[in-house]
Structure 1
């Protein structure tokens, strides 16, 4: 299974209004345990644009939107009115989180908080205005044509009695454009996750004018393309330089037997077809593939890119895309002891509303536009491992050894911590018991057991919103 191979020469847009390159939108309840109106809900919009049409003055500044999008908002498009009365449509103009002159892309993200009412249920969408289009795409005839877009998510604040909380929708992220080799069946695994780990996450094609507009399956993607419910897309590129669009809904369900989704969020991305590159792709690795991080504690990870194109080629950029706001990226540094190795540090201080699964995707691009396979990491109590099959054999061995070493180290650290805690707890428990007469020891033991039960219940209530 090959994944995300890219030989990029130029990115051209022959139509001034063709500037959209996909994205994703999602929502998160700030406190899923509280169903009292008003309910704070965070909205996260992540989009990719053609750099020549949507400029990024500096990382961290507002993007310069295309003229037709200046007044665009994330708008209620279904069940509007009583069940969306607190929704105030936010702008789609976000903060520039990255750009690549080689890829010709700019990346933006925007986070807003709205106050909604208990049991609100409606659809919010970002759709193109008249005259605004995706970059030119290829249909079955491989003739480049313009296509309008819409991304839609269902916001459902109904209380789940059997779960004891408001549902939190799944999260998805993918670096666009994904590159595939012509004539070769390629599997693209879409990174998804759900903080409600007891639920089932599935993918399906977006359908209809209210979910995908002009890019519904299979208008701008080969009809033989297969999307499995576990979010793996298998596709074969037909013609070199073709551009395809994949419009997908990521949904969560009560369990693997139910057919009615609890929530639905979109992810749309582009795929481009390339010939086999003339030299090995750059590789991208991280010193951390998955990790738990704490609210308010600064987190850093280092991304390493290796160039295999020789002295005439260099790594031009490492691009990141995240499901969370606030990540910053340091400068690209070429190592002095190994001129083929480059690095960049990513920093992030999580906030309380960001608790849950978060995904960081990254890719390296060299001076000729050759792209690495993507790298991804998940944070906050969930593990999303890169498919080993996506790597060459020697890379698979290296990655597997690294993961095994990390797992062994994690087990040792966890065991040591538990043993230390258990020993300390035994000492603390034993000392007051030994100092008391027998009947006092029994009373103290009963009191401690009751206190422990209360602590456990409070912990469960905090985690699962159980009402006593």
Structure 2
């Protein structure tokens, strides 16, 4: 009896642990130096962490988070949450106990399908330039409704490498941003782009699948826990622009995506300088019968994946505008991923098909910081994610790779016209500058061609006027009449038709000497036919006589 009781208690404790521990929803780890110029043997770096949790996790205090929690920048308390050094730790003085993984609230979403509480934090460390370590946050567990990795442990890790770059500066890791949950319809082919950026403008960014092969991957530890290759096996990843192509087969399930974004000094480099993890979820839905077939969309002056320079300490007001396309289709939620301190207004409806949310933010932290939003309508139909990168403290947007800048856009479009470009450079054209520069170039080409054409015509007419003689006058008159008839400006009269016929007849008989060779040929041919026919007749008569 005692053994049965112990076994029962053990099972109950295990179930409680699984239920209470299934709370992780993905995250990001990145870093950058405060100053990328070498001034000694150490440097200060800023480590950025961002994690999402299940909003309704029983260990979180009730009532659960709201926009009030976001505005108050409430800490998200998760016991035992630390980002620790996992590999090559002797090369650095990284804190032996790790960095806290308790976040400051940035977003809270109570949508029944999303239910996330998201936060981020920044930590400043002084570290030697010999540092080349793998840091990460590993614990348990993912939740039960996963396509792959249900209730499995998580592992999210990145490479922190302070070795000097070939150009003599200290490297900055790539940065990225994403919504914690992205909706796509079941059994529909999807193309999804994960945003990548880097403060080092010339770096080559490539993303790859996170790997559990600790002996061979760049970080030398398990990078993804239970969600390695968490998407369907037919999924295709294009690394240079981090584009995923896939189809979600089963509705009402979540699909975990685990990627590593790595930066290379040049296109010929074989070893990355750092590695940044990004883990998030896709959700497959089936639209209800009779609902609007067209999903809402986010519109506005900012193109998706744009970069915007903003000063430190100045308030930013960003308007997120969603449009609906069917009667009765209303926007009930904007799911967001925001930097610390950004607040979100209630949703307003200024017109029947327009829905607006305003975000307000006064940035206090320089560097690249991302914001994403997605609109969800009353039938749980989502818009595509809309993301922008804020360059806090920077004026020029040229620091961000794969984003729009005037110089890159114009250069890329001119190279397209010369058939001299790389395919991936197409992504450098912004929604406004691309068509504008292309149209400007076409107008310029047409102007040059028309100028050349008119110059040739003008010179030809000038020469015709200067060298007037009967033949030139006849040629000019003939061409002028033909042009007028071709364009329909002048119709041919009956007199002109008869004149042309008379001219043709006269040409045949007015100059008989010119036709003499032809007439001689015809005469000789007739004689030859006559001679041959008479010869054949004589031969026939001889045969009859014999």
TM-score (norm: length of structure 1): 0.71
Partner of 1:377 in structure 2?
388
**Structure 1 residues 300 and 408: alpha-carbon distance in aligned structure 2, compared to 1, 3 A threshold:** farther
* Alignment counterpart, residue 34 of structure 2, candidates 19, 30, 36: 30
CA distance in 1 between counterparts of 2:181 and 2:208 reads 20
Consecutive unaligned residues of structure 2, counting only runs of 5 or more, are: 1-17, 213-220, 392-396, 405-428, 441-546
- Which of 307, 314, 318 lines up with 1:297 in the alignment? 314
Quote the RMSD (CA, aligned, Å): 2.8
Number of residue pairs matched by the alignment: 366
Structure number with bigger Rg: 2
Task: Report the Cα offset of residue 309 of structure 1.
Answer: 5.2
Offset, 1:147: 1.6
In structure 2, C-alpha distance between the alignment counterparts of 1:340 and 1:111, rounded to whole Å: 39
Displacement of 1:267 after TM fit? Answer: 0.4
User: Is the CA contact (8 Å cut-off) linking 1:137 and 1:147 kept in structure 2?
Assistant: no
1:200 Cα deviation from its structure 2 partner: 0.5
Question: Is residue 237 of structure 2 the alignment partner of residue 221 of structure 1?
Answer: no
CA contact (8 A) 2:105 2:340 kept: no
What is the match of residue 158 of structure 1?
163
Q: How big is each residue's C-alpha offset from its partner over 1:132-159, in whole Å with a ceiling of 9 and x where there is no partner?
A: 33453124xxxx8322111101111112
In the TM superposition, 1:184-223 aligns within 5 A as 184-208=188-212, 210-217=222-229, 220-223=230-233
- Matching of residues 223-372 of structure 1 within 5 Å: 223-230=233-240, 231-276=242-287, 278-279=291-292, 280-289=294-303, 290=306, 291-308=308-325, 310-311=327-328, 313-322=329-338, 324-335=339-350, 338-351=351-364, 354-355=366-367, 357-372=368-383
Corresponding residue for residue 145 of structure 1? 150
* 1:116 and 2:127 aligned: yes
C-alpha separation between the residues in 2 aligned to 1:133 and 1:212? 11
| 1:78-116 Cα distance to aligned partner (Å, 9 max, x none) | 111342345762211112211221132222112222222
SS of match in other structure, 2:432? helix
Query: d(CA) in 2 for partners of 1:114 and 1:402?
Result: 37
- Asked if 2 retains the 8 angstrom alpha-carbon contact of 1:288 and 1:301, the reply is no
Q: Which moved more, 1:276-285 or 1:25-34?
A: 276-285
TM-score by length of 2: 0.62
1:35, distance to aligned residue in structure 2 (A): 4.5
What is the CA-CA distance between 1:38 and the residue it aligns to? 4.2
How much does 1:206 deviate?
0.7
Residues 253, 284 of structure 2: 8 Å contact kept: yes
CA distance 1:183–1:406, shift in 2 (3 Å): closer
Q: Which whole-Å CA distance do the structure 1 matches of 2:21 and 2:312 have between them? A: 41
C-alpha spacing 1:300/1:135, structure 2 compared with 1 (3 Å): farther
Q: 1:112 to 1:256 in 2, by over 3 A?
A: same
Cα 1:35–1:366 change in 2 (3 A) is farther
Conserved? CA contact 1:39–1:118, under 8 Å: yes
Q: Would the aligned equivalents of 1:45 and 1:92 in 2 still touch at CA under 8 Å?
A: yes
Shift of 1:321: 1.1
Post-superposition shift, 1:71? 1.9
For the Cα contact (< 8 Å) 1:201–1:251, is it kept in 2? Answer: yes
Partner SS state of residue 431, structure 2: helix
Taking the TM superposition and a 5 Å limit, the aligned residue runs for 1:44-193 are 44-53=48-57, 54=60, 55-56=64-65, 58-59=69-70, 60-65=72-77, 69-85=78-94, 89-102=98-111, 103-129=114-140, 132-139=141-148, 145-160=150-165, 162-193=166-197
More helix by share: 2
| Bigger mean CA deviation after superposition, 112-121 or 341-350 | 341-350
Asked if the contact 2:287–2:381 (Cα under 8 Å) also holds between the matched residues in 1, the reply is no
Specify which structure has the bigger relative contact order, considering alpha-carbon pairs within 8 angstroms and separated by 6 or more residues. Answer: 1
- Give the whole-Å Cα distance in 2 for the aligned partners of 1:266 and 1:350: 24
Identify the residue that residue 464 of structure 2 maps to in structure 1. none
- 1:18 & 1:330 partners in 2: Cα distance? 31
Q: Secondary structure at the match of 2:152?
A: coil
Aligned to 1:39: 43
Which structure shows the higher strand fraction? Answer: 1
Q: Is the 8 A contact 2:142 2:150 kept in 1?
A: no
Q: Which residue number corresponds to residue 431 of structure 2?
A: 403
1: distance between equivalents of 2:370 and 2:433?
Answer: 22
Superposed displacement of residue 211, structure 1? 0.6
Confirm or deny: 8 A CA contact 1:19 1:135 kept in the other structure: no
> In the TM superposition, what are the counterparts of 1:402-441 in structure 2 within 5 Å?
403-404=431-432
Measure, in 2, the Cα distance between the counterparts of 1:349 and 1:164.
33
